[in-house]
């Protein structure tokens, strides 16, 4: 009996070792709050005519899909101790490209695929530009991606002539609104992409090398890690994923709003990553955590709307959560919890900063 309980404790300990478990707890808590307001909140019904699942949970999955895309990209970028502030703007560029293309094209699958390919290619190219600025030019990541964040929205406005552009294409619309085996396509695509990226980085040495350049670029170089190539790869991937997110976001309404689409999404991505237990200091990443974080953000957004709280308060609330999580990740607070003196923890941070500079 005693043996059993200690084994149980060990499992619990292992579960709570993952920081994203708190994200899961928060999701359950939010769902519980919604259930108090409406006991049938969690119920999922099957649509009689087409067999699709309908319910609030399905809506949450659908809303989480774009956040998942940019969070996974952001996760890898942050692991190299960089940041990608341009994801929201690359979303709007991808949306603008696809809408502008579809506006003049016929309503068939070929046009939809062409629009998709074009949007993703342009987003990936802009991501690669970020990567080249960071790796070859040696610009700080937040400056290069800040330029891209502001220029990206400018590019989208130039593409659409400053107008919100709408178009019609059944196949393109299906990406965001269709169903396969009763589940929304958009969520299934997102899930597949997350799993693919996760397998790619964790089943190969890629993830390890990405973490290595985030931990100590000098040591990584001495170990023969190709820093420049990896940085370009990571920023390109982040741009490509942002492009997918942009397609998701515009396909659901078949309209691109040049000033609203993807607005402040970089905050959602950073928040999802930080909730997932990835340190903003770089050097490690957790894709499952980013996945959970995205689900939490979608749940939070839906809850705020469901409870009738003014949704204008959410960005400020999210920003506060980022500040609090930053504080929790700082050495001073950590040492407080561990009962060590902050002075003992400080030098390691300074060393890291010197390397980063």
Partner 1 sequence: MSITTESRTDVPGGRPDGAASEAGARGFAARIAGWVKSRIDLMPTLASLVIFVAMVIYGEAAYGRILQMNTISNLLINNSSLIIIAVGMTFVIITGGIDLSVGAVIAFSSVSGVMLINHGWNPWVVMIVMILIGSAFGSISGILVQYFNVQPFIATLAMMFLARGLASMLSTVPERLPDDSALRQLATKIKLVDGPKVNDFVITPGVIIAILVVLVAFFILHRTRMGRTVYAIGGSEQSASLMGLPVRSTKLWVYIISGSLSGLSAVVYTARLGIAQNITGIGWELDAIAATVIGGTLLTGGVGFVLGSVVGALVLGLMNVLITRDGGIPPAATTIITGGILLAFVLLQRLVQAKQRE
Residue closer to partner 1, measured from CB, 83 or 185: 83
Residue closer to partner 1, measured from CB, 180 or 356: 356
Q: Which residues bind partner 1 (CB under 8 A)?
A: 83, 85, 133, 137-140, 142-144, 146-148, 150-151, 153-155, 157-158, 161-162, 264, 267, 270, 280-281, 310, 312-320, 322-323, 326-327, 330-333, 346, 349-350, 353-354, 356-357
Strand partners, 46: 53
Least distance to partner 1 from the beta carbon of 129, Å? 10
Quick check: helix, strand or coil at residue 92?
Answer: helix
Integer Cα distance of 130 and 118 in angstroms? 19
| DSSP H helical ranges for the chain | 2-17, 21-37, 56-79, 87-104, 109-132, 141-160, 170-177, 185-203, 206-215, 217-222, 227-251, 265-275, 287-307, 314-329, 331-338, 342-356
Integer Cα distance of 55 and 43 in angstroms? 6
Least distance to partner 1 from the beta carbon of 41, Å? 26
Tokens read off for 156: 């989208």
Least distance to partner 1 from the beta carbon of 291, Å? 22
Residue closer to partner 1, measured from CB, 38 or 351: 351
Least distance to partner 1 from the beta carbon of 345, Å? 9
Residue closer to partner 1, measured from CB, 92 or 240: 92
| Residue keyed to tokens 């397998």 | 199
Residue closer to partner 1, measured from CB, 186 or 274: 274
Least distance to partner 1 from the beta carbon of 82, Å? 10
Integer Cα distance of 235 and 124 in angstroms? 8
């Amino acid at each position: 009996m005693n043996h059993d309980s200690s084994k149980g404790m060990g499992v619990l300990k292992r579960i709570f070792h993952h920081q994203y478990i708190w994200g899961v707890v928060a999701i359950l808590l939010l769902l519980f709050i919604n259930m108090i307001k409406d006991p049938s909140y969690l119920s999922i019904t099957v649509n009689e005519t087409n067999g699709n699942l309908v319910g609030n949970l399905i809506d949450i999955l659908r809303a989480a899909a774009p956040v998942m895309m940019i969070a996974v990209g952001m996760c890898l970028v942050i692991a190299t101790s960089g940041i990608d502030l341009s994801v929201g703007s690359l979303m709007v560029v991808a949306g603008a490209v696809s809408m502008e293309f579809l506006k003049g094209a016929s309503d068939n699958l070929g046009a939809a695929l062409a629009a998709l390919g074009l949007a993703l290619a342009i987003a990936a190219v802009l991501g690669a530009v970020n990567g080249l600025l960071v790796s070859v030019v040696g610009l700080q990541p937040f400056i290069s991606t800040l330029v891209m964040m502001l220029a990206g929205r400018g590019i989208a406005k130039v593409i659409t002539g400053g107008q919100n552009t709408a178009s019609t294409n059944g196949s393109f619309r299906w990406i965001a609104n269709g169903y396969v085996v009763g589940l929304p396509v958009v969520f299934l695509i997102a899930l597949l992409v997350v799993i693919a990226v996760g397998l790619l980085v964790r089943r190969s040495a890629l993830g390890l090398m990405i973490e290595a350049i985030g931990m100590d670029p000098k040591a990584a170089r001495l170990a023969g890690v190709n820093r420049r190539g990896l940085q370009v790869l990571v920023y390109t991937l982040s741009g490509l994923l942002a492009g997918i997110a942009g397609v998701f976001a515009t396909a659901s309404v078949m309209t691109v709003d040049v000033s609203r689409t993807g607005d402040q999404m970089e905050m959602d991505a950073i928040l999802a990553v930080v909730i997932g237990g990835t340190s903003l200091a770089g050097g490690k990443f957790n894709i499952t955590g980013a996945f959970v974080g995205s689900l939490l953000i979608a749940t939070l957004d839906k809850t705020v709307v469901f409870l009738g709280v003014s949704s204008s308060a959410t960005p400020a609330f999210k920003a506060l959560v980022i500040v609090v999580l930053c504080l929790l990740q700082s050495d001073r607070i950590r040492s407080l919890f561990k009962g060590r003196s902050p002075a003992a923890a400080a030098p390691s941070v300074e060393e890291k900063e010197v390397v980063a500079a």
